[in-house]
Amino acid sequence: MGGRTATDLWYRFAAVCLVVALAACAAPAKPLPPITGSGFEPLDIPLIEPGKPVASDSTVTGYLFRPAGSGPFPAVILIHGCNGLDWQLPNRPGWVLLRRYAQRYADRGYIALVLDSFGPRGVTNICGNPRAVSFGRRAWDVYSAARMLAERPDVDRQRLVLQGDSHGGSTTLLAIENGRWHGRQHFAAAIAWYPGCFPLNGVTTPLLILIGENDDWTPADRCKAMVNGLPTTDRPEVTLRTYPGATHAYDFPLPTRTNSLGHHMAYDLEATTDSWATIDAFLARHVK
């Protein structure tokens, strides 16, 4: 054994394992393949400001749904939650929901872009670690998608809408905060479904927040406090609509469930139906 003891060999083995493990951690995650199918167009979206990469950070992916005709059309960017497009689940409820919403918008004369911030970075889900892809990083994904849409001849750049749910709702809030975007792209309206709310230095865009009173993940009281803390003069319309009895993710048509973090979720058809009626009226005021 060359004079080496078993302890020496163990420590050498452990050191080699540690180096391998650290190298694996440092290696970028492999991007996930884009979703394929009919009725939409996958797009690579160049990022304006990559910042600190999570993995490969040169582009993100969007799935574009178009109405019939040549336009120019209003456009909406749909921003997923911490579950992403549910890459890890065989039925992908996150993708199914956002695809349904995108088609709903396309049927009403909008170009709709489902923005995937996770797949290109090799990330499937950050619900247990919401800073793994931060609101700030995702806000730059949104700005990048907005720039790409604004350059398309079939898009009316003065009628761009943001819509995000949960983590995507918080991203929406940050994206329209005063001083974030410096006026480089106009947003006509923003919609946040059950976001995690936090204090903002005002907003640049008319804002609609939809949230359940029984949300034990992103409490409605935080959104009430945020809205009450916004400037009251020279601000665009800010509307907060709450739903008694509704939980987090009340628009997902899934069985009542408790996730691994202990948060309760249940489908609420009445709240979902009213939410869409409220969205339609809100957009009629600010976009159509």
3-state SS, residue 113:
strand
Phi, psi of 211 (to 5 degrees): -155, 150
Predicted confidence (pLDDT) per residue in 194-229, tens digit: 999 999 999 999 999 999 999 999 999 999 999 999
Question: What is the amino acid identity at position 184?
Answer: R
Report pLDDT for 56: 54
Whole-angstrom Cα distance, residue 97 to residue 39?
15
Cis amide prior to 72 (ω within 30 degrees) = yes
Confidence category of residue 232, pLDDT binned at 50, 70, 90: confident
In the chain, pLDDT over 70 holds for what percent of residues? 86
Task: Indicate if the pLDDT at residue 285 is higher than 80.
Answer: yes
Q: Which residue has the higher pLDDT, 84 or 58?
A: 84
| pLDDT of res. 75 | 98
Q: CA-to-CA distance for 24 and 17, rounded, in angstroms?
A: 10
CA distances 40 to 81, 124, 259, Å, are 20, 21, 31
Query: Where do we find the tokens 């008694």?
Result: 244
Query: What is the pairing mode between strands 111-116 and 73-79?
Result: parallel
* Pairing assessment for the beta strands 264-265 and 257-258 based on DSSP bridges: antiparallel
C-alpha to C-alpha distance for 70 and 143, rounded to whole angstroms: 24
Give residue 57's pLDDT.
67
In which region does residue 71 sit, left (phi positive, over 0), alpha (psi from -120 to 50) or beta (all else)? Answer: left
| pLDDT score, position 91 | 85
Q: Which domains occur in the chain, in start order?
A: 32-286 (3.40.50.1820)
Tell me what pLDDT residue 269 has.
Answer: 98
Q: What is the pLDDT of residue 45?
A: 93
**What is the pLDDT at residue 5?**
47
pLDDT at 21: 36
CA dist., res. 17 & res. 19, Å (int):
5
133-151 mean pLDDT: 93
Q: Which residues contact 89 (CB under 8 A, 6 or more apart)?
A: none
State the average pLDDT over residues 128-135. 90
Check if the beta carbon of residue 155 is closer than 8 Å to that of residue 113. Answer: no
Q: What is the mean pLDDT of the chain?
A: 87
238 close to 227: Cβ distance less than 8 angstroms: yes
The phi-psi region of residue 122 (left if phi > 0; otherwise alpha if psi is between -120 and 50; otherwise beta) is left
Strand, coil or helix: 193: strand
In this prediction the pTM is 0.87
